[in-house]
Structure 1
């Protein structure tokens, strides 16, 4: 897909995500809105995947380490053809396989269960190392939240990625500056992230993570070292009253707010 088409798909995914969270009465809409441009670029441009063969051995691997934004992943997987689009309406309902965190045993296209923060990147390092050991050509991508980078397991994984020369690994940090309950700066200030990751021997690119052209260029980059993308994003991106507001980590819009958000996202289509 070209950039303008990816931007259109991202807006459609935002609108469907909003509807799903509102109907379910639960979700993590702020972080979903910030990461949707990345998910769109991955699934509609970058990843080598086959929806009709979700376990194809040559597929690229993607790990959503910030698993609480599962609804955005489900909407993306549905639009890409991994699951029926109408199934999104079952999000969080009894007996639905679309749980609050993605489950690889239930949902086609999900590579590993995520939710406990700090686990996705270590798993992705293992996937990338396995490809090196077996001579496989697939690339591994992983998305973490910036609050999640407070977990020490991530820094051990970053150290291992450099040590093993995993040039087939791309880490994208969704740097929306907020976590549950507070800003990153007030909780455990990690910024600036770039020099810290570079100190471990990684190549690092900083981008506007809500600008599709920058997202695509960064994800398609290939170098000789593991690559980290620090994506500066807006929590609640695309919805005026949600943007950069900590309350919207897992707050659900009321009917009036929902109608305002639908109008704003629909006008952008």
Structure 2
């Protein structure tokens, strides 16, 4: 588990400051920062020297716009040199405005087109279960992308088969088109997922909610500041 690193949570602000330009999507990055850091530092069973380990945990960043927090966290944990951050989104940089799995060590899926991450995570978790692996799949989505119909099928299917090892973290910044209070957790619970609603900037609450508990898939709704 990635618990030892030369850089810590306090360094993330400086790492993110190295990324400049017009396409920063600062608010999107800051809304995910505490969740992404907690995942990599305390939860995920992965490391830079196990990129191809078939039994590694998987993290899917479905909310692929505004990936600064993701890039800073990967750099802090040694997946690539921190100097890469200085040239992000440039023509010859592997760090684009949306993550590319073919270019970035530790990036499991290319993302940015919203609505794809959860279905992909369901398929991966199903394949891992089929071969008896205990690896977990954790996918971070935005509340607005759950308006995409592909997610309804993924949520229903995972709940119906009791898909262990799958956790969805929903960053709730009140930007969903059809937003209703407490709708997100109830939507997953209706399909037999265990659920939790937490402060998305509270590391203790994040860590507690992401520990395996009840059988079947898990959904954690992480509330953050509303999108302006």
Confirm or deny a common fold (TM above 0.5): yes
- Distance in 1 separating the partners of 2:17 and 2:143: 22
- Distance in 2 separating the partners of 1:130 and 1:59: 13
Give CA-to-partner distance per residue, 1:35-57, whole Å, 9 cap, x none.
11011111011000121231211
- Distance in 1 separating the partners of 2:113 and 2:13: 24
- Distance in 2 separating the partners of 1:163 and 1:217: 25
Matches for 1:173-192 after TM superposition, within 5 Å: 173-178=170-175, 184=176, 187-192=177-182
**Deviant stretches of 4+, over 3 Å:** 8-11
Segments of structure 2 that go 5 or more residues without pairing to the other structure are: none
1:16 Cα deviation (Å)? Answer: 2.3
The reply on whether 1:95 has 2:92 as its aligned counterpart is yes
- Kept in 2, the 8 Å contact 1:14–1:36? The answer is no
Q: Quick one: higher RCO (CA 8 Å, sep 6+), 1 or 2?
A: 1
The reply on whether 1:52 has 2:49 as its aligned counterpart is yes
| SS state at 1:188 partner | coil
- The one of 52, 61, 80 aligned to 2:77: 80
Larger-gyration structure (1/2): 1
How does the TM-score come out when normalised to structure 2? Answer: 0.92
- Distance in 1 separating the partners of 2:154 and 2:138: 14
Equivalent residue number for residue 220 of structure 2: 229
How does the TM-score come out when normalised to structure 1? Answer: 0.79
Give CA-to-partner distance per residue, 1:3-57, whole Å, 9 cap, x none.
xx99x9344323422441xx22322110110111011111011000121231211
- Distance in 2 separating the partners of 1:58 and 1:48: 9
- The one of 164, 167, 178 aligned to 2:164: 167
Equivalent residue number for residue 14 of structure 1: 13
| SS state at 2:49 partner | coil
Segments of structure 1 that go 5 or more residues without pairing to the other structure are: 179-183, 235-243, 247-269
- Distance in 2 separating the partners of 1:56 and 1:145: 28
More helix by share: 1
